[in-house]
Amino acid sequence: MNIVITGASEGIGAALATQLGARGDRVVLAARRERELSEMAARSGPRALAVPTDVTRRAQVERLRVRAIDALGHIDVWVNNAGRGVSKLVAELTDDEFDSAMRDNVKSALYGMQAVLPHFLARERGHIINVSSFLSRVPMVSIRSAYSAAKAALNSLTANLRTDLAGSHPGIHVTLVMPGVVATNFRSNALHGTPAIRPGTGPPGIQSADEVAAAIVRVIDHPVAEMYTNPAHAVVAQRYFSDVDEFERATRLP
């Protein structure tokens, strides 16, 4: 398959590029950091292509699509993986901090969806994968308020696009992927860093980037509407939505 991955210079995107390249897929990697991106492409197979891209700029995302099609002939899968955390409580958020959360986590993915969709419509097939977060469903880490809100917005955009296409273009899949805590540099790269999470208040289970990437590989091969990369999170989300008041009382520390 021919696969575009944003946020591919490290973390989940880099692990995904490595796994896909190892099995023979052709990958186009996008991120802002040119040196790290080129090094990642060198580890992702002889036909991997690095395209330095700021995915918060629509024109650069459209250029990424053009470069990918020129290099590969067509695109089969587009993975919107780029994103960034913001560490601020709701009461403390500034306009700039909230705007940056929406820009980095929602608008970047929207640009990707809108860039590749005409190509998929013309081919009548394709797969868009949006990487969200378990926190978009269960707000267990309040310091991630703006990030959680942005990812919740991404969830809604993803679901709406999927329903828009389901009847008229069944060959185009749209998948939402929701990791929980992942052992990457995401914590340190977050705006304002990441303070220690109090015991008992965070999502259960820490996954490696390789584990999350392997889950995304599975959904590339077998598309579904949405997936928690840690199956335990689906159970937690069901508990949360079945009785929000009780869930919040049970998980609130004295």
Length in residues, the chain: 254
H or E element, residue 121 = helix 108-123
% helix / strand / coil in the chain, to the nearest 5?
A: 50, 20, 30
The distance from CA 241 to its chain's CA centroid, rounded to whole angstroms, is 23
In whole angstroms, what is the distance from residue 226 CA to residue 133 CA? 11
In whole angstroms, what is the distance from residue 207 CA to residue 216 CA? 13
H or E element, residue 51 = strand 49-52
147 belongs to the catalytic site: yes
Alpha-carbon torsion, ordered 233, 235, 238, 242, to 10 deg: -130
In whole angstroms, what is the distance from residue 26 CA to residue 21 CA? 6
- Residue from 111, 147, 228, 240 carrying the catalytic annotation: 147
228: tokens are 């928690």
Residues with a known catalytic role: 147
